Amino acid sequence: MVNNGGNIAKLADKLSDERHAALITSDISRRYFCGFTSSAGIILVTKEASYLLIDFRYFDKAKQRVSDCEVILLENAKTQLMNLLIKHGITTVSVESDAMTVTELEKYKANYTFVTFDSSCGLSEMIGKMRIIKTPEEIEKIVKAQRIAERAFSRLLRDIKPGQTEKHVAALLEYYMAEYGSDGKSFDTIAASGVNSASPHAVPTDKKLENGDFLTLDFGATYDGYHSDMTRTIAIGKVTDDMKKMYDAVLFANLDAMKAIRADISGKVADSVARSTLDAWGFGKYFGHGLGHGVGLEIHEAPSASPSSQYTLKEGMILTVEPGAYISGKYGVRTEDMVVVTNDGCRNLTNTTKDLIIID
């Protein structure tokens, strides 16, 4: 059985009374509350009991893994859900406003006219506050995903050669992550060389690696539903003094930001530290994105660290630290680690060196 830290019980405790229920329909929330990945199913949470209604494709797996709610084979969703709502005398059902379409909501309202559907942001915000603080078990899974990605990167460094295409490099990295146990890539791998490295979200192309190129690699693995995220910029052959200066500026921005990150500072302040360092080196105007984002069941989730961030960092939050500098038509550099916020600082979950790696 999967231990999800009693997430369903915690959600049930937050319901207003016995006539109030929460309806979980999104894939990510279902994974968070039940502990396994599926593309269908609904969870009904009440004060008295909770239920996972899931179809035959996942039913056996759910019976084996889910321990904190009753697993029901989904055969007729309308009738089965109606019976449960009546059984518990439910009059108000909160839904995930950030995951349910207007069409879906109207269908629920038409099928269950005896209840009121609360489509405010209340339930989504409640779940978000639960998910933003990672448990030790969640952090362990993220670390396992990160170690897989690091092993793949170390192996890739032995195999990279001038003349290979960006697409080839990205495919190798994804293959190695899979071979080392990744459940799947966290996102589409970025392998951007030369002028392409000046685009923060470049897509791998048929461009061949050339001597004098920066090669930015942004990638991640997944483990039991949890993601990792890291970026390293390496050099192919020689680097100029200007390239080395940009690399060092980004590196120090990364290091300075990590020194500043701790519980009770804002994401805006964390971002400003990295931005100030890049300004001091003369590269501030080339940093066009935020410092970082949360990572967990999704590759981009709360909190954020950026000039517009509204988050205050708290112990147990996971955040990427990824300053960059990008000169259009020339090259770009990004260095990214994942950290977990602590009361007196942060702990870096990324073990790979940040010294400039040069491939001869």
- Average pLDDT taken over every residue of the chain: 96
Tell me the pLDDT tens digit for each residue of 299-320.
Answer: 999 999 999 999 999 999 999 9
Dihedral of CA 30/34/39/45: which sign?
negative
> Average pLDDT for residues 78-106, to the nearest whole number?
97
Tell me the pLDDT tens digit for each residue of 280-302.
Answer: 999 999 999 999 999 999 999 99
**Integer angstrom CA distances of residue 108 from 41, 79, 143, 338:** 15, 12, 39, 40
**Integer angstrom CA distances of residue 132 from 67, 161, 264, 293:** 23, 40, 14, 11
User: Cβ distance 234 to 356 under 8 Å?
Assistant: yes
Judge whether residue 1 has pLDDT over 90.
no
% helix / strand / coil in the chain, to the nearest 5? 40, 25, 40
Other CB atoms closer than 10 Å to residue 286's CB: what's the count? 19
Find the range with the poorest average confidence among 2-11, 76-85, 179-188, 347-356: 2-11
pLDDT value at residue 5: 61
Judge whether residue 2 has pLDDT over 60.
no
Judge whether residue 91 has pLDDT over 80.
yes
State the pairing for strand pair 337-342/318-321.
antiparallel
pLDDT value at residue 37: 87
pLDDT value at residue 161: 94
360 pLDDT band (50/70/90 cuts)? confident
Q: How far apart are CA 89 and CA 20, in angstroms?
A: 9
Percent of the chain's residues with pLDDT above 90: 96
**Integer angstrom CA distances of residue 274 from 200, 284, 293:** 17, 9, 14
**Integer angstrom CA distances of residue 85 from 14, 51, 59, 91, 267:** 18, 11, 21, 8, 41
Domains and CATH numbers, the chain: 7-131 (3.40.350.10), 136-359 (3.90.230.10)
> Average pLDDT for residues 125-133, to the nearest whole number?
96
Q: State the residue for tokens 């990638």.
A: 219
pTM: 0.94
pLDDT value at residue 205: 98
Tell me the pLDDT tens digit for each residue of 229-277.
Answer: 999 999 999 899 999 999 999 999 999 999 999 999 999 999 999 999 9
The conformation of residue 236, written as its DSSP 8-state character, comes to E
> Average pLDDT for residues 33-59, to the nearest whole number?
94
pLDDT value at residue 117: 97
CA 234 to chain centroid: 24
Q: State the residue for tokens 């915000």.
A: 125
> Angle at Cα 275 formed by Cα 273 and Cα 281, nearest 5°?
110
Tell me the pLDDT tens digit for each residue of 148-198.
Answer: 999 999 999 999 999 999 999 999 999 999 999 999 999 999 999 999 999
Q: Can you read off the two tokens belonging to residue 26?
A: 């999104």
36 pLDDT band (50/70/90 cuts)? confident
